[in-house]
């Protein structure tokens, strides 16, 4: 467990070079949110996506620094290295979501001069849950690709897979709707009723499968 903690700390420390970039992005979007009311709703999505993509960039850093070769000289097994990477990416993406929520609330309170508006809070939480879930689902596909093909090739392959995934989901959804003979409105209502349960179960299963695949790829990989 100590080894995993150390690996997570190592990944967070690599973010030192990103501090200025992260602060600049946050500042720019805060200013834009004050100038344009519509952007405040997009702030949590922006923060979640940015922090998620920055977390994935840790693969590039490790690849350039040949970090894995160094780590494997210590009594650390490859599965722990993969586990630490998954935990780090999850935590950093979650941090982005929470910062997005906090900054949105502060901006709204400053602009309106009132305490937290319940409707605004509910809408913001819904946006954060949606963006965080989407980012987790995307990262579950990204990480095995990065382990298999490396950071550079992985980016190209993941873009192709994202497009293919979107088309696949669309085709599967429309096909299922035809098979069970329900309208789009009925499908949306049904989806709303079970959305949280479906999202939670899907993400957990996807992440577990993603971790298993990544572990097997990394264990077979020659470093």
Q: Are 99 and 30 in contact (CB under 8 A)?
A: no
Per residue in 26-58, pLDDT (tens digit) is 788 778 777 776 677 777 888 888 888 888 877
Per residue in 50-60, pLDDT (tens digit) is 888 888 877 87
Model pTM greater than 0.75?
yes
pLDDT of 98 above 70? yes
Tally of domains within the chain: 1
Measured CA to CA, the distance from residue 199 to residue 135 in angstroms comes to 12
The two tokens of residue 177 are: 């709707």
Instruction: Report helix, strand and coil shares of the chain as percent, to nearest 5.
Output: 90, 0, 10
Per residue in 183-207, pLDDT (tens digit) is 555 555 555 556 667 777 888 898 8
The two tokens of residue 178 are: 């035809």
**What pLDDT was estimated at residue 59?**
80
Measured CA to CA, the distance from residue 209 to residue 215 in angstroms comes to 10
Grade residue 211 by pLDDT with cuts at 50, 70 and 90: very high
pLDDT of 152 above 60? yes
pLDDT of 14 above 70? yes
Measured CA to CA, the distance from residue 71 to residue 1 in angstroms comes to 15
Range of the domain at 124: 2-220
Cβ neighbours for 109, distance < 8 A, ≥ 6 positions apart: 115, 116
With a pLDDT cut of 70, the percent of the chain lying above it is: 74
């Amino acid at each position: 467990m100590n080894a995993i903690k150390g690996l997570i700390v190592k990944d967070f420390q690599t973010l030192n070079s990103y501090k200025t970039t992260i602060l600049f992005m946050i500042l720019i979007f805060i200013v834009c949110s004050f100038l344009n009311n519509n952007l405040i709703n997009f702030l949590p999505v922006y923060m979640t996506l940015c922090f998620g993509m920055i977390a994935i960039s840790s693969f590039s850093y490790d690849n350039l620094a040949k970090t894995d070769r160094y780590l494997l000289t210590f009594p650390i097994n490859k599965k722990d290295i993969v586990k630490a990477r998954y935990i780090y990416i999850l935590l950093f993406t979650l941090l982005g979501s929470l910062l997005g929520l906090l900054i949105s609330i502060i901006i709204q309170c400053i602009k309106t001069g009132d305490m937290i508006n319940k409707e605004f809070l509910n809408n913001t939480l819904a946006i954060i849950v949606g963006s965080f879930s989407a980012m987790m689902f995307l990262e579950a596909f990204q990480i095995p690709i990065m382990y298999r093909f490396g950071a550079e090739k992985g980016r190209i392959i993941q873009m192709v897979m994202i497009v293919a995934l979107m088309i696949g989901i669309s085709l599967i959804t429309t096909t299922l709707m035809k098979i069970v003979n329900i309208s789009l409105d009925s499908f949306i209502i049904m989806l709303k009723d079970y959305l949280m349960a479906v999202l939670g179960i899907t993400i957990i299963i996807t992440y577990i499968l993603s971790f298993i695949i990544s572990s097997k790829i990394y264990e077979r990989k020659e470093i």
